[in-house]
Amino acid sequence: MSVRQHKAIQRTYQDLYHRYGPQHWWPGDTPFEIMVGAILTQNTAWTNVEKAIHNLKQAGCLDPESIVSMPIHRLAELIRPSGYFNVKAGRLTHYCQWYLENGGYEQLKALKTQFLRQRLLSVHGVGPETADDILLYGFRRRVFVVDAYTRRLFLRLGIIEGEEDYDGVRVLAEEALKRSVKDMNELHALIVIHAKNSCRVRPLCETCCIRRRCRFQADQAANS
């Protein structure tokens, strides 16, 4: 938790913010839709998730009551475009059962962040990143979301060594940007947006590319 790491994260945030502007995430109309999106987007392109959510909306099933009372194979069929549809149908059902058993949004929002985080992690199919997506974008808590992009970016910027665990990276970013929910919201969103652009639009950007395999990185390795 060095000052150097904090400064680097702050600088990266300002750089990305200046470059892309505020993103105003999460793309979704209601907290529940955001939660569904958080589960469906696990290791999946967002464009595919949009199709699945569209199907749920069109079927009039984008609510926890409909999802828990629906035959699992029908739910799987509706979310098919988002991939892993059998797995995710089970995860969505588990999540909605938990959500309803605990009184839904109005009851859950009364819980303190760390306790709510523990409860989310206890739901089968909700791991650390999904839990933090739900906390940050669904419940508007000051929590940072660490995804694969964040790890690669921080690693290639020399901010982390690569052996830090999930919570280590999360707390590092939360310490670096102590100000507001807004900053947590924007930093994660900007990193994702940057990932989509960094190799195509501006391959040699200052913060470097954060795709898994980057031409820029490969060239550097070849020249050294």
**Is residue 137 involved in binding DNA (CB under 7 A)?**
yes
Determine the 3-state secondary structure of 148 from DSSP.
helix
**Is residue 80 involved in binding DNA (CB under 7 A)?**
yes
Of the candidate residues 8, 192, 205, 208, the single one contacting DNA (CB under 7 A): 192
Give, in order, the Cα–Cα distances in Å from 136 to each of 66, 131, 210, 222. 25, 9, 23, 40
Q: How far is the CB of 170 from DNA (least distance, A)?
A: 11
Q: How many residues bind DNA (CB under 7 A)?
A: 42
Measured from the CB atom, the residue of 64 and 81 that comes closer to DNA is 81
**Is residue 75 involved in binding DNA (CB under 7 A)?**
no
The amino acid at residue 120 is L
Taking the C-alpha atoms of residue 66 and residue 60, their distance in angstroms, rounded to an integer, is 8
Q: How far is the CB of 7 from DNA (least distance, A)?
A: 26
Residue keyed to tokens 């929590």: 143
**Is residue 135 involved in binding DNA (CB under 7 A)?**
no
Measured from the CB atom, the residue of 111 and 192 that comes closer to DNA is 192
Measured from the CB atom, the residue of 15 and 50 that comes closer to DNA is 50
**Is residue 47 involved in binding DNA (CB under 7 A)?**
yes
Residue keyed to tokens 């830090």: 164
The amino acid at residue 77 is E
On the 0-12 / 13-18 / 19+ scale of CB atoms within 10 A, 73 is exposed
**Is residue 195 involved in binding DNA (CB under 7 A)?**
yes
Q: How far is the CB of 93 from DNA (least distance, A)?
A: 13
Measured from the CB atom, the residue of 3 and 43 that comes closer to DNA is 43
Of the candidate residues 5, 13, 37, 56, the single one contacting DNA (CB under 7 A): 37
Taking the C-alpha atoms of residue 194 and residue 214, their distance in angstroms, rounded to an integer, is 14
Taking the C-alpha atoms of residue 157 and residue 207, their distance in angstroms, rounded to an integer, is 7
Measured from the CB atom, the residue of 172 and 190 that comes closer to DNA is 190
147: enclosing H helix or E strand: none
**Is residue 44 involved in binding DNA (CB under 7 A)?**
yes
211: enclosing H helix or E strand: none
Q: How far is the CB of 43 from DNA (least distance, A)?
A: 4
Contacts (Cβ under 8 Å, ≥6 apart) of 4: none
Interface residues toward DNA, by CB under 7 A? 25-27, 37-38, 41-48, 51, 80-81, 83-88, 124-131, 133, 137, 147-149, 192, 195-196, 200, 211-213
